[in-house]
Structure 1
């Protein structure tokens, strides 16, 4: 929540939001992409969502998306055959897992929470704090092959064996035939680079834009008085949440097919200030871990707030349990931890974003913001059969 925009009245808020969404390049709801594969791909987009950016070397097709869906939910893709991508990305939770820390296939805790995947196709960067990971294909190498921490647990010792599980599949997935059809003409279609391409194609289809808020924008739903007050605060100068969460995707790192300038800000929100030194816990120091620059201490990506009602616990390390606590923390200008190994006053963190400061929000106003945030839940997305586990019904 940051300062610097003019105060908007209730009607002006709606006009400004609609204008901002339209400016992102949207307008149509169905776009057809010639994939050069077995079938053209048609995007069925929410009103005013822009056309997604798709890498030229990984065009979309219906068959590729369906192959990716099987792979996403298949535990055979992990080193020990026990964990799938879907183990940490549950559809009912907007493709996060409800844990403070994700747990890898070997039982090792990840220091950070699994991020939700709703509208991941529009994210300019793909992790909490790595500016260099800007494509789903490149990002996917980390959960698959990473060793600190272990996630999927695929490594040089078992890579071939994991692929062999897919090559010898005779079940409902039918991988040999699917890979041969999707990557026709390739001498070796069933290989790791194509596994990654197929999963990335599926993840690009995880588009959420039919919340009650979206329906209200379209004139098809109503919001309560509390929700409308919360919306006015969210998009207004007093609470200023919109500075980091004001795009059509309710975040501030956006990329789409029409993007010309892509900004990738990361923010220190005053969550920690260990010993008054500005430090964050050593396994969670944000962009600093890559740059070693003091100014990057505690700098993390602002996640999309779509479906935020179901993505608890919150923050990069899952250290805040409820939306009410999140709003209260921002209203205070940071978090004060009175005791323990992380004791310190985050409100005075020297590396905190300079535009994050105490906001005078009373209890009713904070509750109104929470009420508005709950209007961002897209129940259709959370139950859409196109995104569901294809093994579950078999």
Structure 2
């Protein structure tokens, strides 16, 4: 009897790991499929962009445009947020509440029309995948045990891949874990300033990703007084073409309110601000020190200190040059160690070859729309 029980227990020990390995293999296949889709220009109507164009691995998972042009070359109104750690967000859009899953968020750039980022339609997406069946049939079979292409599987695979774009491997986090040498003296001063009652930075930028208010009841979407354009009624508002949450709610109380961004890897994601109008971290610190940004020229001239909905925690503070440098040094300590290159390798050759960028070995020819 003891021998039989021992034998049965060994069977269980053998089969449980096999089941786990099978699941891991399937999940990895979905991630691989998502990586192909993420880098494939087939997912844009004109075949001129991929998800990776706006969210480039070598540019902090964003880009260097202030505002990325839409698929037709017209400027959009928002700067592209980085995808790093986005899988852990509670809200996925900069100025629109309610999208609380990655799948919901991915649908917008792929199929949305305000703005038209990829310009894709479901029939065209299925047609493109069928035309590339030699690439995608094996990937779908490995991922979903079926060669059937569906929009739901595409969105699911993209979400699985985006979930892998995460890291908090920074000097700051190593310091929090007990490595007292992870930050130098200047960075430690910057951290003390960041957490101080004088600057109040950590009151909005809290949590592991530095993107949530310290007080749970405080809002996740706030106005920082980046603009303060005085209208005929004497109210100081944001530009008419980009009013934050108010663009969707149409409520004046939401004017200029945007989701608090994560500061992880912030030094790698220039330019900054919801519209890419801030060109250096020093400029952003000066904006907060002044209690709002004042613009004296241009169509958006105005005083953000008097913006209608500016968060009351942004009241201004004094800062010496030494302290400013220390604060920038701390922000630089939030830079992640680069994610594994192989895990995020573009499987396709470049559509437009760049001198300073090399294709991955054995890359696949890029898709080109037939004229």
1:137 aligns with 2:103: yes
Paired residues of 1:113 and 1:318 also in contact (CA < 8 A): yes
Task: Give the structure-1-normalised TM-score.
Answer: 0.78
**Does residue 176 in structure 1 map to residue 137 in structure 2?**
yes
5+ residue gaps, structure 1: 1-33, 43-59, 255-260
Q: Deviations over 1:202-227 (max 9, x none)?
A: 00111111112223333454322111
| Structure with max Cα Rg | 2
| Structure 2 residue 94 is the aligned partner of structure 1 residue 128 | yes
Residue 129 of structure 1: how far off its partner (Å): 0.8
Aligned length: 329
Take 1:386 and 1:334, find their aligned partners in 2: how far apart are those partners? 41
1:189: which partner in 2?
A: 148
1:359 aligns with 2:322: no
Offset at residue 183 of structure 1 (A): 1.9
Q: Which has the higher contact order (CA 8 A, sep 6+)?
A: 1
Pairwise CA distance, 1:170? 5.4
Structure 1 residue 377: deviation in Å?
A: 0.7
Cα drift, residue 243 of structure 1: 1.3
> How many Å separate the matches in 2 of 1:202 and 1:326?
32
CA shift in 2, pair 1:357/1:253, >3 Å? closer
Which of 178, 203, 227 is 1:243 aligned to? 203
Contact 1:249 1:305 in 2 (8 A): yes
2:63 maps to 1:105: no
Q: Is the 8 A contact 2:225 2:310 kept in 1?
A: yes
Match of 2:128 in 1: 165
- How far has the Cα of 1:96 moved from its partner? 0.4
User: Deviation per CA, 1:53-73, whole angstroms, max 9, x where unpaired?
Assistant: xxxxxxx81111111011001
Picking from 207, 215, 235, the partner of 2:166 is: 207
* C-alpha contact (below 8 Å) 2:67/2:78 kept by paired residues: yes
Shift of 1:327: 0.7
Q: 2:223 aligns with which of 251, 268, 271?
A: 268
Find the counterpart in structure 2 of residue 25 from structure 1: none
> In the alignment, does 2:347 pair up with 1:390?
yes
Aligned with 1:249: secondary structure? coil
**Contact residue 268 and residue 298 of structure 1 kept, 8 A:** yes
Q: Which stretches in structure 2 are left out of the alignment for 5+ residues?
A: 1-16, 349-358, 364-371
Is this contact kept in 2: 1:252–1:265, CA < 8 A?
yes
Aligned-pair CA distance for 1:262: 9.7
- For 1:1-394, list aligned pairs within 5 A: 39-41=22-24, 61-155=27-121, 159-169=122-132, 174-184=135-145, 189-220=148-179, 221-252=181-212, 265-275=220-230, 277-381=235-339, 384-391=341-348, 392-393=359-360, 394=363
Q: Does structure 1 retain, via aligned residues, the 8 Å contact 2:296–2:302?
A: yes
**DSSP 3-state at the match of 1:340:** coil
| Shift in Å, 1:289 | 1.3
- Alignment check: 8 A CA contact 2:203 2:213 kept: no
Give the RMSD, CA atoms, in angstroms: 2.3
Q: Alpha carbons of 1:286 and 1:37: their partners in 2 closer, same or farther (altered >3 Å)? A: farther
Between Structure 1 and Structure 2, the one with more helix by share is 2
Structure 1 SS opposite 2:172: helix
CA 1:310–1:360 in 2, change beyond 3 Å: closer, same or farther? Answer: same
Please tell me whether the aligned partners of residues 124 and 262 of structure 1 are also in contact (alpha carbons under 8 angstroms): no
